Every structure is written in structure tokens, then in C-alpha cells.
Amino acid sequence: MGNLSQSLSQHLRGIAGGIVSFPLSIVNCLMRRGTEDSDDEGDDESDSIDIDPFEAVLERVQVKHISRYVGAIRAKKHPSGKKIPVVEVGTPVPVWEHLCYRVKFADGVSWMLKVPAIGTPDQFDEDDAEALRSEALTMMMLRRETTIPIPEAFSYNNTCKNKLKVPFILMEFIDARPLDEVWHDRESPKEVVQARRTRCLQDIAAAYLQLGKYTFNKCAPLKFDDQDCLTGVVPVENDPFSGFREVCTSRLDRWGQESESEKGLLKLLRMFVDWTPESSDGKSFVLCHPNPNIFNFLVAEDGSVRAIFDWHGAHANPPSIGNEQYPLWLMRDWDPTVYMWSEDMERRGHDEDDMWEDSPDTLEFYRNVYAQCIANLRPESENAKLTRNSPLFQHLMTATSHTLFSLGQAGKIFDEVVKRVEKHVDDNSCPASVDSPNENEKDNKKDSSSKEDASCDHNSPDKTEDHVEHGSIEADTDEDEDEHFDMEEFIEALGRDGLSEHRKKLFKAGFEALFIS
């Protein structure tokens, strides 16, 4: 992949993946700043920065040919070959690493032309061409073989050798509301918003579970043969932890070690990875949506999903972070680097340009709703076990990528471990707890079995409680009362001296207690 292509693609997708979910209000703000003329000369510099990645492709794309070229493609698709004139080609809108043109026909139909920001000959190489082809064919295949709501892809060209002089995908334009606007609706009654959110999560769960039919024996991007057929799909023996350790370890092996704290963070992540459940040596991977962020969904007024976008880079993932994981915005509180909720948000008036966040209780409520949707649709999922554990697996995986988010994501996992260690210490400070650990474990199981049903008829998220029961810690108790864990001190000490056997045992028990059985 060329340097510019690699830099832009990895940077933008790295931000999208690292941030986990980026509110559409920010995207809209960027789009407005990048496409509207400003009367303030002082804004010129910031405006040029916003559209800079698209400058080369904007200069190259042959807008004057779009009407005739797209019209000819539609005529070929029409049974009678009837030509329906194009009446308008919209202003290009930058959406992450693409430019999107809305093309309106005289009969009211609209299509969308999607052009990569790197769609120039000096940037768009063979790897990029294969990725665009894979995206288009993935959309066509899923629309043909599933009921997942995906815009129809009518045509694509993965070269710069066409009338438009840029690579593109030409697809159906879906006239619906961005999910972000519906999800963060501050004006409708709470029960209406809750009903819309629940309907949306039902539809997403039903869509993503259909990806489970595409299983593979290796973790890799999708490949299509010369006949445009997907290759590598094989029946596999279910192994929920297949490949997770290997993928994480491979990422950690590429880290540098520039400081004691970085050495400590690397050691901490290696410990976490080593403590994840072992694979049964099966080779089990599943197709998943590469970017399940809130801005990649369009919905109707009732919350039903009309379209799922961004299949660029679709690949087979380990099942633990595969098609049964939570949508990413439901896990925002697992990344303190970007999670910006505060109690003040709940009291503020509505401003469409504000960044809105759900409270931790609200996120926990809707995680339970989504998990119950998975459990209802797939009874063999063991009460959506993979789904309920996916915040840990997803953020451990992304933390191993060595980005500016790694420390915050590792810190969240660390904090969750410490909570369980401290709870263990508190419990064992009581003689009854020390004398009867087996009774505590029975109580844990009893509490777990009485967990509230997270059905689509939930009460309000304001009334939610922690429905997730984690395992208990069984460790030596004679040294526990003096235990104290501070993240910064911990990773520095870990990088310098390692852990004592007692601390390692206690910390491992806290990590293992995170897993939901």
C-alpha cells in the first residue's frame, strides 16, 4: 500500500476503531465546515485543514461526466433499457475516508456515488483496489443471501481508468434518519426514545447474527475469486476463544519499549492476554461488520433499521469479538479516553451541536437489552455469553494495537480488576467471609440465577441495576488487607521489577472474575 494511502486509511480507520463510537453531530459539524463557504476569513485555515485529505481526489473526479455515466449504468439495469435522465448531482460530502455524491433521477429515485479519498493514481494501489472490490462484492453477497438491510450496490470500478477517472461504488441512496439523531433524541418522551432504541437493537442483533453463517478457519479479510464468489467459507467446530490470544500477541510483539511505563503497560497487556480463556485449538472465525459505530446506521421513525453502511475491510474475526459483540457505542464507558459523560449532560438543554453521551447506567441497561435480544434469537448462545463478555475482549484487543487510546483502555480493565480485588479484600475482612468462601460462591450463583430478564419490555434505564454477575475470587487472604493498586505506580513497578507471586495471583484472580459465565 502506498505511503499516502496507508497513512490516511490507517489514520482515519484507527481513529474510528479507537474511539469506538463517534457521535454523528461531530461528523455533521465537520461536513458543514468542509462544504460550506465561510464569510470569516479567519476560518480559511481550519476549513482547508478539514478538506485537505480530499483535495487531490476533488481535483481529479470528473463531475461533468457523472450524470451521463451514472444514467447509462441505470439504463443497463432497467429491463427495457429505458434511459431516465439525471436531474441533479449533489455537492460532494466528505464522510470519513470517502466523498459521497447524491445523484437524483427525474423519476424521484436517488443513487449515491461513493469515491475513496485516496482515489488518485499515485495513492490508490492494488491493495486498495482489492479492498474496494471486496467491499462492493460483500454488499452484493449479503443483500442477495441475507435479509440484512444493506443498500443495493449497482456497480463499482476499482481503477482510475474510467470516465470519472476515480474508483467508486455506486449504490442505492437511502432516505432515512441517522441513528445518532434518533438515539440521542432529547425532545421526544423518554418512553418513545426507549422504544425506538430497543427496536433498533432488535434489528441490529437480528442482522449481525446472520453473519454467523459465514465461518472460516483463519482470521483474514474477505477474498473473492474471479467469479466474484467468496472463498474460504468452511464449516467449523465452535470455539469461542479461537484466535484471540494469537491476534493480541502478534500485535504486542510489534510494540516498541521506549520507557519504563511503556514496558510496564506492555507487560500488563501480556498478562491480561495470557489470562484470557484458552482456545480448544479449533480454528473458528466468523464474518463481522468491520465498523459497528452509531453513525453507520440509518433508521426509520420507529427505530427500525433501514440501512447498515461501511463494509470496507469486512473480515473474519475471532468469535469473542465477532458478530455477537455489542455495537460499539454501547461500550463507550469502557474507554475513558473518549467517554465524556457527566451528570451535567443530563441537566443541560438540547443543542444539536453538543456531543451527547449515555450515562453508565443507561449503557448497562441497553447492553442487557441487546444481550437478551441475542439470547432470544440464538438460544444456544448460553444466555448471550459472548455478547456479555465482549466489552472486555473488544477493549483488550484494541488496547494491544499500540495507539494513544491503549493506556486508557488498559486502565479501564485495570480498574475493573481492582474493584474485584478490593471487593475480595473487603469480603475477607469479615470473619464469616473468610471462614466460608464456598457459601459466598453459592450466593453468587444464586444471585446470577435470579438476574432480571433483559427483554425488550424493560423498565426505564433510570431504574436499571447491575444485571451482570461476575465470578468470585479465591486467593490467599493473609496479605490482602494491605493491598493497594494505583495504575501509574503499578505499571512502572511492573516494568521495572515485575510482580510478587502473591500480587500476581491476586491480580489474576481479579481479572478472571471479570468473565461472565
Closest CA to 60 of 132, 167, 171, 155: 167
Q: How much is the pLDDT for 43?
A: 46
Q: How much is the pLDDT for 356?
A: 85
User: Considering just the CA atoms, what is the radius of gyration of the chain in Å?
Assistant: 25
State pLDDT tens for residues 107-164: 999 999 999 999 999 999 999 999 999 999 999 999 999 999 999 999 999 999 999 9
CATH T-level fold of 3-175: Phosphorylase Kinase; domain 1 (3.30.200)
φ, ψ of residue 86 in degrees (nearest 5) = -85, 130
Q: How much is the pLDDT for 16?
A: 39
Could you give the residue ranges of the DSSP H alpha helices within 155-259?
Answer: 179-183, 190-209, 244-252
Closest CA to 483 of 414, 428, 421, 437: 421
SS3 state at 184: coil
pTM over 0.85: no
Q: How much is the pLDDT for 278?
A: 87
Q: Contact 338/332 with Cβ under 8 angstroms?
A: yes
Q: How much is the pLDDT for 8?
A: 33
Q: Contact 509/424 with Cβ under 8 angstroms?
A: yes
Closest CA to 408 of 327, 358, 334, 489: 334
Q: How much is the pLDDT for 260?
A: 78
Closest CA to 398 of 320, 340, 496, 466: 320
Place of cell 445523484: 103
Q: Which portions of the chain are predicted below pLDDT 50?
A: 1-51, 430-454, 465-469, 475-481
Place of cell 481529479: 60
The full set of domain ranges for the chain reads: 3-175, 181-512
Decide the pairing of beta strands 98-105 and 110-116: antiparallel
What's the rounded Cα separation, in Å, for the pair 436 and 434?
A: 6
Q: How much is the pLDDT for 25?
A: 35
Q: How much is the pLDDT for 456?
A: 54
Closest CA to 135 of 108, 164, 97, 175: 97
Q: How much is the pLDDT for 235?
A: 92
Contacts of 70 (CB under 8 A, 6+ apart): 86, 103, 111, 113, 170
Q: How much is the pLDDT for 503?
A: 87
Q: Contact 265/252 with Cβ under 8 angstroms?
A: no
Closest CA to 287 of 343, 222, 234, 365: 222
